[in-house]
Amino acid sequence: MPTPRPGRTAAVPHEGRDVAPAWQPTPAGDVLRFAAVPARLRTLALAVAAAVLAGGAVLTAAAVLLAGRDSAAGRLVVVAGALLLCLPLVAAVTLPFRWRTVPCTATAGEDALVVAIGDRTLRVAWDEVDDLAWRTGTEYARVVLRAGATRVSLLVGVARPLPGRAAALAPLGPGAVRALAAAGTAAGTRRPGHVRYRRVRPRAA
């Protein structure tokens, strides 16, 4: 079995467990294959909030009706309803988003980041990147890219993952990190599993 070159993120198989996608070296650059939902996180959050508020209104009405008879019953309704109603509502809201899952690839080349979203491909030169958020794990895993008038938002954590893969991303590779720094961006936000690069130096004329 070939040994991955230093600086590459390799997938380590675990029997019975899905693994996160990994960067693979190619002549065009390092390639990451994953599945994502082309949507903004705000859109998903608003849909979930609306569902939770609707469920909460139903629970509140039921609790008020029961409170006059038995306050303990009212509290029980709220607790049981939160588990039996609100959680399925959230799952139901996210289901249409999962149906919109498309295969994606990100290619980190020397001069540009190329993102393929289904049958659409975008090429963004590193020195055109204004804002890049990259979150690797949990249901919030996502890629958000802004470059001039170009906007890309890919929700990975809620997508149906590729076979044998987890709904997650590999961290940005060292080549992409160096290219972003050389292009005039800096990591303004850096937490475990989450990094955000923003432009700190004007683009070259």
Write out pLDDT tens, residues 20-53.
Answer: 899 999 999 999 999 999 998 777 777 767 666 6
Break the chain into its structural domains and give their ranges: 24-39+100-199, 42-98
- The pLDDT assigned to 13 comes to 45
CA–CA dist 127, 49 (Å, integer) = 37
- The pLDDT assigned to 140 comes to 87
Tell the burial category of 90 from Cβ atoms under 10 Å away from its Cβ (0-12, 13-18, 19+). Answer: middle
Cα→Cα distances 71→29, 38, 63, 77, 138, Å: 64, 46, 8, 10, 38
- The pLDDT assigned to 19 comes to 86
197: Cβ contacts below 8 Å, ≥ 6 apart: 129, 131, 132, 133, 134, 180, 185, 186, 187, 188
Cα→Cα distances 86→47, 71, 82, 99, 205, Å: 13, 21, 5, 21, 53
In this predicted model, what pLDDT tens digit does every residue of 99-110 receive, in sequence order?
A: 899 999 999 999
What number of other Cβ atoms are within 10 A of residue 145's Cβ? 21
Token pair of 125 as six digits: 């030169």
What number of other Cβ atoms are within 10 A of residue 10's Cβ? 13
Compute CA 79 distance to the chain's CA centroid, rounded to the nearest angstrom.
Answer: 30
- The pLDDT assigned to 186 comes to 94
The domain 24-39+100-199: what is its CATH number?
2.30.29
pLDDT tens across the length of the chain (205 residues): 444 444 444 444 444 567 889 999 999 999 999 999 999 877 777 776 766 666 666 666 655 665 555 555 555 655 655 556 666 766 777 788 788 999 999 999 999 999 999 999 999 999 999 999 999 988 889 999 999 999 999 999 999 999 999 999 999 999 999 999 999 999 987 788 999 999 988 876 5
Token pair of 121 as six digits: 């491909």
Whether 113 contacts 124, CB under 8 Å: yes
- In three-state secondary structure terms, 144 is strand
- The pLDDT assigned to 73 comes to 55
58: Cβ contacts below 8 Å, ≥ 6 apart: 81, 85
Q: Within the chain, what is the greatest distance between any pair of CA atoms?
A: 74
